[in-house]
Amino acid sequence: MKLYQLCFVKRLIFPLFFIVVSLVACNNNSSKKPAEKVIVDKPEQMETVVSENIDELLTYLKGNAGKLNDSVKVDLLQQVDKVYQNTSFHTIWSKDQKWQPIADSMFYMVMHAKEYGLFPTDYHAEILNDFHNKIIADPSSKKNAILWTRADVLLTDAWFGMAKDLKLGRLAKDSVTLRNDSAVNDEYFFNKFQGAVASGNVLGVLREQEPTNRFYVGLKEALPSFLDTAKFKQVVYITYPGKDSMSLNTQVQQRLVEEGYIAAPLAAGDSAGLKKVLTAFQHVKKIKETGKINESVVRNLNYTDWEKFKRIALNLDRYKQLPDSLPQAYAWVNLPAFSLRVFDTDTIALQSKVICGSPVTRTPLLTSAISNFITYPQWTVPYSIIFKEMLPRIQKNTDYLDKQNLMVIDANDSVIDPKTIDWSKLNKTHFPYLLKQRQGDDNSLGVIKFNFPNKYSVYMHDTNARKLFGNSYRALSHGCVRVQDWKIFSDYLIRNDTLKFPADTINAWMERQEKHVVSGFKKLPLYIRYNTCEGNDGKVKFYDDIYGVDRMLSEKYFANKNVY
């Protein structure tokens, strides 16, 4: 090799060597596990040592996906790192081996997180409480710079985590999320943190992140009464239906042990003993006494105070998806409560029982506005109902159409005699007719129909099966919402248009069973939502999870939450 070539190779190799060595050194530095104890005997040196340790800790965390160890993880590392870069890694929450007042406030907030529908363990409650106890019970712990280092970083992470959860909640955006959070980004929370620390008002700034709508406030105010009597304990959660009957049987028996119905799991194959215990459990819970493991047994065994708290947490987060302010007047349909309420200013103008979609044909969640209503409407049967329910019955006996007050309409809008049709040749791919129900009290829509724009083709209406409003469980429709007090509701809609729609005119139409479209009144905003609990006179009122949505969301977001 020529001399100039050798020199070139050396010039290339040596820089590469130093780059590789530097990278290895940096990697080793970031992967080096932080010390568990660094004792500082001279108090005046503590701030400097802690500052250095914060720098080292953050370097390690950035190289380890935010994980300090198997049980501690800094979730919002990017924001936490930005804070300490801004302070040159100086402490925020402590000084002179003492927690600052803002640290006491933040620690209090973490330990009382459940009062906000939050989980203390999400904000390092255990390790912070351990640190707090150590510096009180063991003065020598104050000399350990590592304790001050970790407490500072974890309190910062806790603040950001709590601020984010209070402001945005933990649920992903869905089709009915209305909050406008385009300006609520990392910079927003960083600025809020800076202001909170500068003013010493970390609690106040956190609480400012909460929604102010009546539903959130009502449930939040009722939460303390629930917490006062709640008994939180870690128990087995039964998966139903389980992977196999043996696993389900084992889980149920473990829960029966935890609840004190049996002292220990029964001997294998003791089906008679299990039946006796299950019958006793069903008797206490006032559910049908079958002596068998079924959905109602599992639902009652799973319905612990801890699971109720998760349900409260979910619903508080649902209310965070609403805008900061709601209209002055609006209609609110809560499906699990089977209720319609109209809010006007600060009062409930009316409330009515409703019937909503069954679990198979769910009523969709939506936001719209009631634009008109129709007296004595005519129901055009959706094809989904025709093919699933009606066609098989018609094919057996065309008298079914008369019993249901149904007309067969062809493409020319003419009424066809059903006996002239060969129904056996009709199916999903070949059905050139419409089925319409004659207007009147026998019509499935009843005597009135309320319309609002939506992509699901659902509406609100009266019904010819009014006795069903007497049922406690009313998830019974094909998806539309049936309203018991439709007359009061329609009167409310035209309350400001009495000159255009005199009451005696509407009443006359109804008496004569005339079809009329009533429109032109001020549209009433409509919210159809799914809330399984709400605040009611200072108490938490729970409703059945009729569509199993809470169960799914709880398993997705809260399955690994620990009782604390």
The pLDDT of residue 31: 62
Alpha helices in 238-351 (DSSP H): 245-258, 271-285, 295-302, 305-319
From the list 281, 310, 309, the residue with the least C-alpha distance to 294 is 281
C-alpha torsion angle, residues 551, 553, 556, 557 (rounded to 10): -120
Q: Is the pLDDT of residue 29 over 70?
A: no
CATH of 325-536, one of 3.65.10.10, 3.40.50.80, 2.40.440.10, 3.90.1150.10: 2.40.440.10
Tokens 């009709």 correspond to: 426
- Decide if 541 contacts 290 (C-beta within 8 A): no
Higher pLDDT, 112 or 509: 112
Say whether 71 sits in a helix, a strand or coil: coil
Tokens of 345: 């200013």
Catalytic residue, candidates 124, 356, 480, 533: 480
**Out of 50-64, 196-210, 295-309, least confident range:** 295-309
Q: How far is CA 162 from CA 100, 220, 482, in A?
A: 19, 16, 40
Q: Is the pLDDT of residue 491 over 80?
A: yes
d(CA 514, CA 516): 6
- Decide if 443 contacts 378 (C-beta within 8 A): yes
How confident is the model over 406-419, as pLDDT tens digits? 888 888 888 888 88
- Decide if 149 contacts 53 (C-beta within 8 A): yes
pLDDT level of residue 15 (50, 70, 90 thresholds):
very low
Q: Is the pLDDT of residue 178 over 60?
A: yes
Tokens of 245: 């009957």
Hey, where are the domains in the chain? 1-31, 32-210, 325-536
Q: Can 7 be counted among the known catalytic residues?
A: no
Plot region of 117 (φ>0 → left; ψ -120 to 50 → alpha; else → beta): left
**What does the chain come to in residues?**
564
- Decide if 75 contacts 154 (C-beta within 8 A): no
How confident is the model over 68-83, as pLDDT tens digits? 998 899 999 999 999 9
The pLDDT of residue 402: 86
d(CA 500, CA 514): 18
CB atoms < 10 A from the CB of 54, how many? 26
> From the CA atom positions of the chain, what is the Rg in Å?
32
How confident is the model over 150-165, as pLDDT tens digits? 999 999 999 999 999 9
How confident is the model over 389-408, as pLDDT tens digits? 889 999 989 888 888 888 88
What is the phi/psi pair of residue 26, to 5°?
-65, -40
Catalytic residue, candidates 461, 478, 516, 533: 461
The pLDDT of residue 507: 86
**How many distinct helices (H) and strands (E) make up the chain?**
19, 17
Alpha helices in 448-548 (DSSP H): 486-493, 503-511
What element of type H or E holds 549?
helix 549-557
Strands across the sheet containing 379-380: 379-380, 434-437, 406-409, 415-416
The pLDDT of residue 299: 87
d(CA 351, CA 521): 20
From the list 532, 535, 556, the residue with the least C-alpha distance to 546 is 532
- Decide if 92 contacts 63 (C-beta within 8 A): no
From the list 373, 351, 352, 328, the residue with the least C-alpha distance to 494 is 373
With b for 16 or more beta-carbon neighbours within 10 A and e for fewer, the 360-382 pattern comes to: ebbbbbbbbebbebbbbbebebe
Q: Can 480 be counted among the known catalytic residues?
A: yes
What share of the chain in percent tops pLDDT 90?
Answer: 64
d(CA 437, CA 407): 6
How confident is the model over 499-527, as pLDDT tens digits? 888 878 888 888 888 899 999 999 999 99
From the list 334, 298, 306, the residue with the least C-alpha distance to 318 is 334
d(CA 422, CA 433): 12
Residues with Cβ within 8 Å of 527's Cβ and at least 6 positions away in sequence, in order, are: 176, 330, 331, 332, 333, 367
Q: How far is CA 505 from CA 33, 377, 515, 520, in A?
A: 82, 17, 13, 16
**Average pLDDT of the residues in 41-53:** 92
